[in-house]
Every structure is written in structure tokens, then in C-alpha cells.
Chain A
Amino acid sequence: MPTKSQGPQIDFTTDSLRLFYNMYREYIVPSIIMVFCLLLFFFFLLPQFNEYLAMQKEADATRVRIDGIKKNITFLQNLDVGQTDSDFQTVSVALPSEKDFVGVLEAVSKSSTNSQVSVGDFSFLVGDLSTKSAQLSDRPTLSLSLNVNGSIDSIKEFIKQLSLASPIAEVSTLSINQGSAAMNVAFYYKVIPKQLSVEYDAPLPSPSSTQRKLIDSLSLWQTSTQTASSASFVSF
């Protein structure tokens, strides 16, 4: 049996709902329309407008890419392909994509011939090309340990000649004794990444004047090496 102390109770019977509808009939339909409008605004119109803004942004980015591609096409059409191939060949010999044993021997041979030193014992510190460190390293090297015999001036000239040689080399340690020197020479190479991403719209690089001079000097050394390489092996 219900007690009187439970307070007022809301009775949602059909009659009360009908009474509520009859009382507020004029407000209900406009209210539903306004709620519908708000829902349309937030869940349809606003996303559509944001999509339009994104399209405008994408259109601007596409225009920039198109400009870049057009410039690159013009650049490529005016490019001297023969010269580029030749430069690429020169640079690839100077900084090969892998350990270039023949190139290293030619460089040592040519340098020793030009500097009038005789090359004694030498040994390669090869390492493992397949290791990740070799592939990930920015400037991996092939180290060569060698002894040369000659006057101090000849040894200095040998180091100078090595600095001009291809593959690019650097004397890492040098020990000078009377009439001879022992040295470790690092010959650089650069591993080409397996996957190269080609961005057609990115500005294409062309050698600066300093880089052009460097390519020319590398080319000069390589040209003289090719002509003298066969004879210079005698000094070994």
C-alpha cells in the first residue's frame, strides 16, 4: 500500500502525454525543426565546409607541386645529358658505391709513381660489407696499411698525390722513420640506399661552381690515371 510521504510522482500515462502535447503543440514542431537545423549544421554543414577548406589547401599544394615539376621538366630539357653522365661517372669513381679494391690499388700505384716512392708491404683491413654498420655509416672506409720507401720529400709528395686520388683517400696515421714511412690510409666509399625515392617536384640539384671545380680536378686526375695505370703497376 503506497504511503503519502513519498512526494509527488510524475505519471507518464498516455493521457498525460496527450495533455502535454495539446498544451505545447505550437512549440513542439518549431523546436524539432530548430534541433534538426542544429544537427544539420554541426554534423553535415560544418564537416562539408571543412572538407572544402581542405580541398582548397590541397589545391594550393598541388599548384606548388605542378610549378616544381614544370621547372624540373624545363631544367631536364636543357640539361646536357652527356656532361651529366660523365660527371656522374667521375664522382662515382671518386666515391664508389662499394669497396673498390682495383681503384685503391690504382690510386696507390699512381701516387707512388708520381712521387718516386716504392711501395713495400701493404694489407687491406676489409671488414664486412654486409654488416648494417657499413651500410648505415655515412662515410664507410676501406683501410689500407702500407709501407713506403723514399726520401721525406717523396713521402710528402706521396701523401699529396693520395689526397688528389680517386677513390677519395685520407691518411689516418703516419709513422716516419729514416727513408721510410708506415701509414694507414682510409679510402672512402658510399653505399647507395636500396630504395631511392624520386620526388619529381623537388628542386633538382646542379653542381655549384666550387663543386664543378672539384669534379674537374677529380676528372683530371682520373684521366691521367687511365693513361698511366698500366705502366705504374711496375713499381709494386
Chain B
Amino acid sequence: MTEINLINKGDTSLLRKRKTVKIFQTSSVAGLLIIAGLSILVFFLKLSSPLSSLRAQEADLVTQISKYSDTIVELQLMSQKISAISAITNGRTDYSKAVAVVTGATIPGASLGLSEISNKEVSINSSIISKTGVDLNASSKSLLSVNSFLDDLTQLAGKKIFKKVILNNLNAQPGLYTFSVSINF
């Protein structure tokens, strides 16, 4: 039995075309409306922004505070200078240890100094004290005294009073021993 399709195929494609056109038209109008709505929204958002009033308030306050400009500069300079002074005073070298070694006095923080034999029999000819330590040129008539002096220094180094004790040179002449020592703090 032969089936006869009564629906017109041409009409279906026409309907589909109309539907597509309608979607196109609706979308374009909706897009236009959305853009218009968003534009109005952004316009009012920008209009309601407090930025201009805040800027005016800031300008007013700057006018008020500018009367104190000199005091502000004074405070800032004082702060910079006092910080620099603090840094300088905190970073100063303490010469008391070095002076104690040179003069044979009791070394601060160690409760002891050079032994009696070192003090009496070793004479310090010259000493240069700097931030890093002290360079000594000393002499003695006895090699035993030189040894005692160096022993005293190495003992103090062992007690962390000094970081390093370096014997730079030792010269022996008839009846006189001269030597040079660098002590690092």
C-alpha cells in the first residue's frame, strides 16, 4: 500500500526560515536593550561616585595642613637625623679591651688581664688600635717572657675575648727579642 505524505515540504522550510528570522530580530532588539540598559547603569554609577567630593575634601585638608609645612619638614629631618645618630652610636667601636691589652689593665668582661710577668718584662713599643683590632710591636729581653705574653693572649682568645691572635713576626737580636702581634676583636 502506498503512503501519501500530505504535509507540504516547502511550507516547513518557510516556517523554519521565519523562526530563524524571528530569533535574529529578537536577539538584536534584546542586545540593543541590554546595551542601552547597561549604558544607563554605568552612567548613573559614575554619576554617583563620591570621587569628586572626596577630592574637594582632600584639597581643603591639604590647604589646612600646608600651614604646618615647616613643622612637618622639621619632624621628618629630625627623624632621619636621630635614626642616623642612633645607628652611629650603636655601631661605635669599644676600645676598652684594646686599651686594656696595651696598658696591661684588667680586660673588661674577662675579669683578668695579662700576667705579671708579661706586664713587667714585655714592653710595648707601639700600638695601633683600629675598629677591627690592635696591632702591637713589643720587645722583651727574655724569650720566656715573650712566650708568657703570647700564652696570655691565646688564653684570652680561648675565652672568646678576642677572635684571633696572630704573631706576625719574631726577631731575635743579641739580648733582645722583638715581635709584632695582631689581635682581632
Contact = CB atoms under 8 A, between A and B. Distances in A.
A48 B42 contact: yes
Interface string B44-81: 01100111001101100110111011011111111111
A91 interface: yes
Interface string A139-180: 100000000000010011001000100001011111111000
B84 interface: yes
Contact of A152 (B69, B78, B99, B128): B99
Nearest to B34: A37
Interface string A47-80: 0110110011011001101100110110010010
Given A27-B21, A163-B92, A170-B88, A62 B54 contact: yes
Interface stretch (B2-10, B25-33, B113-121): B25-33
Contact of A170 (B35, B92, B98): B92
Interface stretch (A99-107, A111-119, A205-213): A205-213
Interface residues of A, number: 72
Nearest to A58: B51
B163 to A, nearest CB: 19
Contact of B51 (A45, A62, A190): A62
Given A91-B82, A152-B103, A159 B95 contact: yes
A56 B45 CA distance: 10
Given A49-B42, A95-B85, A176 B102 contact: yes
Nearest to A53: B45
A85 B74 contact: yes
B24 A210 contact: no
A162 to B, nearest CB: 10
A173 B38 CA distance: 76
A156 B72 CA distance: 41
A231 interface: no
Contacts of B80: 190
Interface of A: 26-27, 29-31, 33-34, 36-38, 40-41, 44-45, 48-49, 51-52, 55-56, 58-59, 62-63, 65-66, 69-70, 72-73, 76, 79, 81, 84-85, 87-88, 91-92, 94-95, 138-139, 152, 155-156, 159, 163, 168, 170-177, 188, 190, 192, 196, 198, 200, 204-207, 210-211, 214-215, 218
Given A55-B49, A76-B71, 9 more contacts: A30-B28, A37-B32, A62-B51, A62-B58, A85-B74, A156-B95, A156-B99, A214-B82, A215-B82
Q: Which 4 pairs across A and B sit closest by C-beta, in order of nearness?
A: A205-B79, A30-B28, A33-B28, A37-B31
Interface of B: 17, 20-21, 24-25, 27-29, 31-32, 34-35, 38-39, 42-43, 45-46, 49-51, 54-55, 57-58, 61-62, 64-66, 68-69, 71-82, 84-89, 92-93, 95-96, 98-99, 102-103, 105, 126-131
